[in-house]
Chains A and B, each alone.
Chain A
Amino acid sequence: NAGVTQTPKFQVLKTGQSMTLQCAQDMNHNSMYWYRQDPGMGLRLIYYSASEGTTDKGEVPNGYNVSRLNKREFSLRLESAAPSQTSVYFCASSEGDRAYEQYFGPGTRLTVT
């Protein structure tokens, strides 16, 4: 069991470029999440998908889009990267919604210059 996997591990973008961060889980979880982690600010929820076919905004959704491709995969897209999006991005999943533990991937370290 790989758990939650993310690609790529590292990425450098120039301002204005676009990219998609990929996330997959093999635990048959219903819910998936995207967070960003910034020094001194903790982790903040960008978007989440409570179940296949649904997505909702989290705390900091501006500048991002998501796609729940199927039950396993949840991607995060930056359409026009900005330096403020330099961060570490984590994908997570959970069996269900409120009552369940969230399991995290290893993260993608993104730098926008």
Chain B
Amino acid sequence: KQEVTQIPAALSVPEGENLVLNCSFTDSAIYNLQWFRQDPGKGLTSLLLIQSSQREQTSGRLNASLDKSSGRSTLYIAASQPGDSATYLCAVRPLTGTASKLTFGTGTRLQVTL
């Protein structure tokens, strides 16, 4: 059974700092991996989708990398801002079986302080 872990569960950084969020998964047979952001009391916003054949994806200040063989993905946030404060979730989709079944991590709660 696929398990997705995100460590740390919470992180606080000062504004302007570059930071890395980690996501690890136990089964490397994945089709793709998706990073989301969730603001308190809100739904999930898709940030980046990395297909298994890709090594990284970039969107603005965000860069996500994928190392499928080692079961790891990182989300790099450059020059953090208070508006980046949210919970960040990663989710993996299986290579075979139920295609729609995303397995989610429990998230990293990020606080960017002034």
Contacts and interface: CB of A to CB of B under 8 A. Distances in A.
Contact of A31 (B51, B89, B100): B100
Given A42-B4, A50-B100, A105 B46 contact: no
Interface string A40-63: 111111001010000010110000
Interface string B82-114: 000000010101000011111111110000000
Interface residues on A, range: 20 to 34
Given A90-B43, A104-B43, A45 B34 contact: no
Nearest to A59: B101
A104 B100 contact: no
B99 to A, nearest CB: 4
Interface residues on B, range: 20 to 34
- Give the residue among A43, A58, A90 with the most B Cβ atoms within 10 A: A43
Interface stretch (A11-19, A64-72, A73-81, A95-103): A95-103
Given A98-B93, A99-B31, A101-B49, A107 B102 contact: no
A44 B98 CA distance: 14
A106 B105 contact: no
B63 interface: no
Q: A-B pairs with the 7 shortest C-beta distances?
A: A98-B99, A42-B104, A104-B44, A104-B43, A43-B104, A48-B100, A106-B43
Given A40-B106, A101-B49, A104-B45, A45 B100 contact: yes
Interface of A: 4, 31, 33, 40-45, 48, 50, 56, 58-59, 90, 92, 97-107
Given A42-B4, A42-B107, A102 B102 contact: yes
B28 interface: no
